[in-house]
Chains A and B, each alone.
Chain A
């Protein structure tokens, strides 16, 4: 078994683009001319110079009638009502918490929007305000849903369901928000033995599947029992698979992660991150995805 692997810098081989693309996508880089037709209105990600419409971000051109905008491939998360997000508490303020969710502005979790431990439903009193730090402290990770959006783009969260709340032991993977596919549910229990929360803001939480379901008291009890080694290996492998998919810009959803996991089983966990192995695994996963689609 090798102890150290060394790799000298080399030119990256161009990615294998053998998979057929569904439809032509107009990809632009900052500074590319989108169109010289002056009849179009400029939207986000574009600007006008010398009668030309030029892209200011790298992304895909989208056109709605006369409005042309460029949707960036990599950017901060823009909240939409109903999204599931994973965030980290940065501040504890009066009657609310500030949560960092990889957006331009910190989001807000009001005291009135949380479930109390034990699932009780009552008006929050002054004692609750003083005991805020007992529920959520700085540095804690939570899963929440976007309740509303302020006019400046800041997002207001709520955890008014037993499936949301403080997250205990697991691994957080931070990816670009554009890679997380919008689905009906973002909480998945993968058959390989771990569960995953795909936050729309690009934060992905991988954790060991809890044995008892819906027994947690409103999601605040942190289960700090030691996680067995087999679970930890599954979680590490999942994390590496997600990183492999991200390198090749594959959309992340439960099926793609699962296919990638199964493709990676013959390899050792730490080898998944080697470029050759990554490419091979992702190709196989992509092939399976295409086969299952069409």
Chain B
């Protein structure tokens, strides 16, 4: 299939946002996405998630005759594969340019940097050496394949254990994992690639570009470095001219990032090692949540509610006085756990009203909204049909806390009559509703007693 081309509007939007130092996912210019390393049950199998880019790496070994020019060295073989699973635009035979450049870069990063001791892979000089084969598959393409693949590669190599071998004279014995514990590869250092995307002819720089950002970038600079600040590989591509001090700045940033990533890798390896030693469960079945094994999981982001009260207070102070305010809305507790129920009950007012199952509203209460209330009447009618079909929901804990803090700030609103154009202004007493009705936590729209209200509103509508 073809990848849909980027429209001019999107391109301009992305470039303008980058000019204003804004990224689509809210990161800063030098921030990496969340990196997650998980290991499989086999030794040498690991999956790295860099944001939504996923790479799966697997290391395997085999005894082969060595290369004639290097009789005492083992053989390393690296292979990265792109498939339509990763992105619709990637077809098995089509994206040769991208594939070749990625493979070359990873080979230079891992093989030419001599991070793996190849002499130690020799069993019998000139006859038998270990061939270590690293296969990587791109499972999802959301930008920056290079970094994800390099992390996956080096982690898989560190995680891998090869069978133990002993040579006695002419006899070579390869022990199975049951006879003798497999031996790790001897790895000197861990080279990690860090990618920099340049925009506007090198004026703006972003670390770890996403797929959209990669489409509009001018040039790409990849620096592979290890934690000892040794540069293993540098590659610059695209149509951007780089100045020396830009490259030096990038190397400094790389040093910082590589240190963080190496630490993360070490921790992940240690955790896995511990899990295996203590006989705990390990493997993908444990590390990937079993409810959605092939779907993406959005990580719950903490919402900063520290200054919500002041902000809400400011908004209310600046807003026009509301036409009607209903204090003490009623909450139906279907959606919230008992813990929240207790919390909400402890608030000075009773609970807000949940109208359509699974919906809630946080309002700003700025202008009169009769139009909205009419719509809510229709929604209520629809909702009553849909009630029977409502299934269990996932409870968003952060949102409920957010709404409850906001509600708290508005409970002090006085009931004010405004001079709106409507002839009749109604203030209703709150009533306990039998079942679900909509939560409208804005100071304007709380209308718990719908039934009496609806009749009046119907009258009002015909009168218009």
Asked if chains A and B come from one complex, the reply is yes
Interface string of B353-386 (1 = CB under 8 A from A): 0001111111110110101101100110011011
> Which of A4, A100, A277 has its CB near the most chain B CB atoms (within 10 A)?
A4
Q: Is A13 touching B335 in the complex (CB atoms < 8 A)?
A: no
Whether A1 contacts B369 in the complex (CB less than 8 A), given A14-B389, A266-B374, comes out as yes
Interface window among B16-24, B131-139, B393-401: B393-401
- Give CA–CA (A90, B372) in the complex, Å: 44
Q: Is B361 touching A276 in the complex (CB atoms < 8 A)?
A: no
Q: Is A88 touching B5 in the complex (CB atoms < 8 A)?
A: yes
Interface string of A116-151 (1 = CB under 8 A from B): 000000000000000000000011100000000000
- Give CA–CA (A11, B390) in the complex, Å: 6
| B contact residues around A140 at 8 Å (CB) | 8
B317 within 8 A of A: no
- How many residue pairs at the A-B interface have CB separations less than 8 Å? 88
A18 within 8 A of B: no
A172 within 8 A of B: yes
- Give CA–CA (A267, B4) in the complex, Å: 33
Q: Is B375 touching A8 in the complex (CB atoms < 8 A)?
A: no
Q: Is B357 touching A10 in the complex (CB atoms < 8 A)?
A: yes
Shortest beta-carbon distance, A1 to chain B, in Å?
Answer: 6
B318 within 8 A of A: no
Interface string of B314-346 (1 = CB under 8 A from A): 000000000000000000000100000000000
- Give CA–CA (A7, B378) in the complex, Å: 17
A19 within 8 A of B: no
- Which chain A residue lies CB-closest to B399? A6
Q: Is B393 touching A276 in the complex (CB atoms < 8 A)?
A: no
Q: Is A1 touching B363 in the complex (CB atoms < 8 A)?
A: yes
Q: Is B382 touching A4 in the complex (CB atoms < 8 A)?
A: no
Whether A8 contacts B2 in the complex (CB less than 8 A), given A1-B372, A3-B362, A280-B378, comes out as no
| A contact residues around B369 at 8 Å (CB) | 1
- Which chain B residue lies CB-closest to A268? B371
Interface string of A263-278 (1 = CB under 8 A from B): 0001110010000110
A166-206 contacts to B (CB < 8 Å)? 172
- Give CA–CA (A276, B442) in the complex, Å: 21
Q: Is B367 touching A8 in the complex (CB atoms < 8 A)?
A: no
| A contact residues around B7 at 8 Å (CB) | 88, 139, 172
Q: Is B382 touching A2 in the complex (CB atoms < 8 A)?
A: no
Q: Is B442 touching A2 in the complex (CB atoms < 8 A)?
A: yes
Q: Is B379 touching A139 in the complex (CB atoms < 8 A)?
A: no
Interface residues on A, range: 20 to 34
Whether A11 contacts B389 in the complex (CB less than 8 A), given A6-B360, A276-B379, comes out as yes
A7-30 contacts to B (CB < 8 Å)? 7-11, 13-14
A106 within 8 A of B: yes
- Give CA–CA (A8, B391) in the complex, Å: 11
| B contact residues around A277 at 8 Å (CB) | 375, 378-379
A65 within 8 A of B: no
- Give CA–CA (A6, B395) in the complex, Å: 12
List 20 interface pairs A-B (beta carbons < 8 Å), by A numbering. Answer: A1-B363, A1-B366, A1-B372, A2-B363, A2-B442, A2-B445, A5-B359, A6-B362, A6-B396, A8-B393, A8-B395, A9-B358, A11-B390, A13-B386, A106-B2, A139-B6, A266-B375, A276-B378, A276-B383, A280-B382
Residues of B that sit less than 8 Å from A by CB: 2, 4-8, 11, 335, 356-364, 366-367, 369, 371-372, 374-375, 378-379, 382-383, 385-386, 389-391, 393-396, 399, 440, 442, 445
Given A8-B394, A276-B379, 11 more pairs with CB closer than 8 A: A1-B367, A2-B440, A4-B361, A4-B362, A6-B396, A10-B391, A10-B393, A100-B2, A139-B6, A276-B378, A280-B378
Task: Please list the 4 inter-chain residue pairs (A to B) with the smallest Cβ-Cβ separation, ordered nearest first.
Answer: A8-B358, A11-B391, A10-B358, A8-B393
